[in-house]
Chain A
Amino acid sequence: MSGGYNEIHPEPTTFWSKYIISFDHKVIAKQFLWYGIAFLGIGGLMALLIRWTLAYPGEAFPVIGHLLFPNSAGIVPPDSYAMLFTMHGTIMIFYAITPILIGAFGNYCIPLMIGARDMAFPMLNMLSFWFAFLSGVVLLASLFLPLGAAAGGWTSYPTLSTMIGSPGAGQTLWCVAIFLFGVSSTMGAVNYVTTVITLRAPGMGYFDMPLTVWGLWLTAILNAIFVPVLGAGVILLTLDRVMGTTFFLAGASATSGSGDPVLFQHVFWIFGHPEVYILILPAWGIVSDLLSFFSRKPAFGAKATALSMTSVSVLSTIVYGHHMFTTQMSPLLTQSFMTLTMTISIPSAIFFANWLGTIWKGSIRFDSPMLFSLGVVFVFGLGGLTGLHLGTVTTDLYLHDTYFVVGHFHYTMAASVLLGGYAGIYFWFPKMFGRMMNETMAKIHFWGTMIPLNGIFFGMLMVGYGGMHRRIYNPFVYDSLKRLMPINEMITVSAILMGAFQIIFVINFLWSLYKGKKAPNNPWNVGTLEWTIPSPPVHHNYDVIPVVKCGPHEFGNPNLKTGRDFQYQTEELVQGPV
């Protein structure tokens, strides 16, 4: 199986080659981690500005309001509000979740967990990060333009995102930034796919891979197929904006021929629906592994979980039309997309059952990575089930573009991915940096995130059902929405609380980086390959490429005589009566 290129690269010696233009997957993973956490902070601050505006319209944002909006006495103006929610969505999806879950964990975990010395294409990996960096610079630069950043929502539907609705250069820079990010993601994706296929350690079959690697691999496959579609979409949009083409123009201003704005929605969502699975699959994989690791029990139906995740990935490519029910597609398309969407329940129910099966009769350790993983099961349950209301056409006709949608996708994409990301950070931090994170602070951080998070997103489901539509600057323009004021205020207070508890994470992270307890090679007593080598690993990971002899979830085998309750993947499976 190890047919690929897997030799030891010489260790870089200069600061520049070691930390900046690094070809080492572990350094690139950390670069992506820092990058993602920085953007998570920016996107989170934007979320607070949005929430403040919705709960206290016309009041100055506290502390930094006057600094950010000097011309409106600290109050977020309506045009800035539109930029804020556009940038919040864009940043969180492309610049926070993607770098952390895919960039950092993908880079860090894939080679280590499959017993490789680096990615298949180290240089491509380096380029992937620096393209993402360039893209981030372009996106942030757009915030300082005279007419401001893009303001058409992260979906940027034309014709609003063409010159008709967005005359500023911000939207053009948005397209350029997304295109560059697409280049970065595609480079990463082909690299991950190739690495998993060619560089698995001898003896490691696909079903011997940890489920984390399964999740990341499926994500990479979807990325490689669908991110280029978005790239094509934003190129066409850019041409409409700067070259006078009319791919997506129609209506009164399409004076030189008419295209179709709905075409963009098809292009966008044929990427956009797989994208939500691109974001969640790594978290599913991490959770599937961690539930087993901390229950000290093999993952229940691991093969079925891997195959369910694969079926979800396949199905995710043929359901995108449920984002477009209100555009009035043909009835046949509408009915087909509704039915196909519903079939996603089957694999989802199967891996949910397997998650619960994994902790059933386990011996559960409630360390912070486990708490966050259990949190993912809870919030993804809520998020997945509210998807039923939106996949059904008639209820969607009421709920589409209301806060119910916002609550739903935040539960699935934001809450689950955030908690899954934290689970991963707490779990792999010792391996990455050679030090342990503070467990008490981690537990405070968990509860301080989990409780307000549900206040925020469940509150959104409630106001959405109450009829509050999305992306409105001031809901209280409408008499019928005034009654929702107290719930909006509750959401905002929860958001501020949740934001405040993230400071504990940042402190814990930075403090542990320098002052944390030295981590042993295998602090969690887990048998996957990365825990057989020192923390942090040496430059080339494995002095000798390991030979894999058993699966990644060997816990609690009653025939074990080693004094450990787990087996390393490099050990022959202990057989005997069970």
Chain B
Amino acid sequence: MDFLNLSVSTSWWELSKPPLDISTNGHLIDSLFAYTTVLAVFYFILVCIGLFGFSFLYSYKRNKTPLYTYGNKKKHLLITAFIGAAVFLSVDLNITRLSNNDLLDVFWKWPNPKTEKVLRVEVMAQQWMWSFRYAGPDDQFGTADDIVTNNDLRVPTNTKILFHLTSKDVIHSFFVPNVRLKVDTIPGRVTRVWWDANIPGEYDIVCAEMCGTHHYMMKARLTVYSEEDFKGWMATSEKLAMNTNNPDDKNLAWGWKWEY
């Protein structure tokens, strides 16, 4: 039983931290999580103080005569109402507001390819692989010069990456733990998500939605390049795509026209 081995240098708390945040905005989710946790722990401690404290103070041995009250006097109702209101105002409204701000200011603020530097990628999920499509030199999707990769997503740093995703067969979910975001890929629909990645390296892309027997194997590699390295890879891939893409290959023909 390895887990009983106390000489393991990293503590469980350390182990259960989420993986390295490689994006500009992942910290918003981490900090909201931390904030919610602090509030939850605060209220849970109050519950525990009541639960264990009262159990200790008012056990049969210590307190033979219970107080005869229905808890429906005005002051009781005021205290209960105060607790209800305090929880709602201090926790719920707060985290709802913060989350909503993050959505409006960041996660739902879709980058505009016309006005900023954006890499667009089309993603198609199927049992059990991820396919990625870059527009290629003509900047149009669904054309013969598209670069298509399987289970291999490469992106540059300092660039917003805008994904449009769909699925061929069943529902999958495009989850990159290192950027803290996931979005379902749904047959018959196009969903979207954007993020950026600022720390070069290799990371996991996983499928988070149950999609069949080999759901657990549906992983792809995310490679984050520096901008120069990405340009180099892109140039090679474009050449390769021009030379090898067969326009009659039905497996390559899944791209769609990029809208909105």
- A interface residues (Cβ-Cβ under 8 A, vs B): 78-79, 82, 151-153, 157-160, 164-165, 249-254, 258-262, 295-304, 326-328, 331, 334-335, 338-339, 342-343, 345-347, 349-350, 352-354, 356-366, 374, 377-378, 381-382, 385-386, 388-389, 392-395, 397-402, 462-463, 465-467, 469-475, 477-480, 483-487, 489-490, 493, 555-558, 578
Which of chain A's residues has its CB closest to B28's CB? A394
B59 CB–A CB distance under 8 Å: yes
Q: Is the CB of A297 within 8 A of B32?
A: no
Residues of A contacting B17 with CB < 8 Å? 465-466
Q: Is the CB of A338 within 8 A of B100?
A: yes
How many of B's residues come within 8 Å of A, CB to CB?
A: 98
| A398/B68 contact (C-beta < 8 A), A258-B188, A365-B60, A487-B15 known | no
Q: Is the CB of A357 within 8 A of B76?
A: yes
User: In the complex, what distance in Å separates the CA atom of A138 from the CA atom of B54?
Assistant: 48
Residues of A contacting B65 with CB < 8 Å? 363, 556
Which of chain A's residues has its CB closest to B10's CB? A483
| A484/B15 contact (C-beta < 8 A), A160-B211, A252-B169, A397-B182 known | yes
User: In the complex, what distance in Å separates the CA atom of A477 from the CA atom of B33?
Assistant: 27
Q: Is the CB of A469 within 8 A of B206?
A: yes
Interchain nearest-CB distance for B129 vs A (Å)? 14
B242 CB–A CB distance under 8 Å: no
Residues of B contacting A347 with CB < 8 Å? 84
User: In the complex, what distance in Å separates the CA atom of A347 from the CA atom of B100?
Assistant: 23
Q: Is the CB of A556 within 8 A of B182?
A: no
Interchain nearest-CB distance for A165 vs B (Å)? 5
| A378/B107 contact (C-beta < 8 A), A82-B212, A361-B58, A389-B36 known | no
Residues of A contacting B184 with CB < 8 Å? 326-328
Q: Is the CB of B70 within 8 A of A473?
A: no
Which of chain B's residues has its CB closest to A347's CB? B84
Contact with A82, one of B59, B192, B204, B213 (Cβ below 8 angstroms)? B213
Q: Is the CB of B3 within 8 A of A297?
A: no
Q: Is the CB of A345 within 8 A of B92?
A: yes
Per-residue A-contact encoding for B210-252, CB less than 8 Å = 1, 0 else: 1111111101000000000000000000000000000000000
Which of chain B's residues has its CB closest to A475's CB? B216
**Apart from A353-B84, A392-B96, A398-B181, what are 8 other A-B pairs with CB-CB below 8 Å?**
A261-B187, A301-B70, A342-B88, A352-B83, A356-B47, A356-B54, A398-B18, A477-B216
| A327/B191 contact (C-beta < 8 A), A388-B36, A493-B3 known | yes
Residues of B contacting A578 with CB < 8 Å? 68
Residues of A contacting B118 with CB < 8 Å? none
Q: Is the CB of A342 within 8 A of B92?
A: yes
Residues of B contacting A335 with CB < 8 Å? 100, 103
Interchain nearest-CB distance for B49 vs A (Å)? 9
Query: Mind listing 28 A-B residue pairs with CB under 8 Å?
Result: A158-B170, A165-B127, A249-B187, A250-B188, A252-B168, A252-B169, A254-B187, A261-B186, A298-B70, A302-B72, A304-B71, A326-B184, A327-B184, A338-B100, A342-B93, A345-B88, A353-B84, A360-B67, A362-B67, A363-B64, A381-B51, A388-B95, A394-B32, A467-B19, A469-B208, A486-B2, A489-B3, A556-B66
Residues of B contacting A300 with CB < 8 Å? 69-71, 76
Residues of B contacting A402 with CB < 8 Å? 208
Interchain nearest-CB distance for A77 vs B (Å)? 9
User: In the complex, what distance in Å separates the CA atom of A460 from the CA atom of B255?
Assistant: 39
Q: Is the CB of B169 within 8 A of A159?
A: yes
Per-residue A-contact encoding for B189-209, CB less than 8 Å = 1, 0 else: 101100000000001101111
Q: Is the CB of B212 within 8 A of A401?
A: no
A-binding segment of B38-46, B130-138, B143-151, B153-161: B38-46
Q: Is the CB of B216 within 8 A of A298?
A: no
Q: Is the CB of A486 within 8 A of B66?
A: no
Residues of B contacting A472 with CB < 8 Å? 215-216
Residues of B contacting A298 with CB < 8 Å? 68-71
Interchain nearest-CB distance for A27 vs B (Å)? 36
Q: Is the CB of A157 within 8 A of B171?
A: yes
Interchain nearest-CB distance for B10 vs A (Å)? 8
Interchain nearest-CB distance for B21 vs A (Å)? 10
Q: Is the CB of A326 within 8 A of B182?
A: yes
Of B12, B86, B173, B192, the most chain A CB neighbours within 10 A belong to B12
Per-residue A-contact encoding for B14-34, CB less than 8 Å = 1, 0 else: 011111000000001100110
Q: Is the CB of B50 within 8 A of A486?
A: no
Q: Is the CB of A349 within 8 A of B88?
A: yes
Q: Is the CB of A398 within 8 A of B180?
A: yes
B63 CB–A CB distance under 8 Å: yes
| A397/B1 contact (C-beta < 8 A), A253-B169, A392-B36, A555-B66 known | no
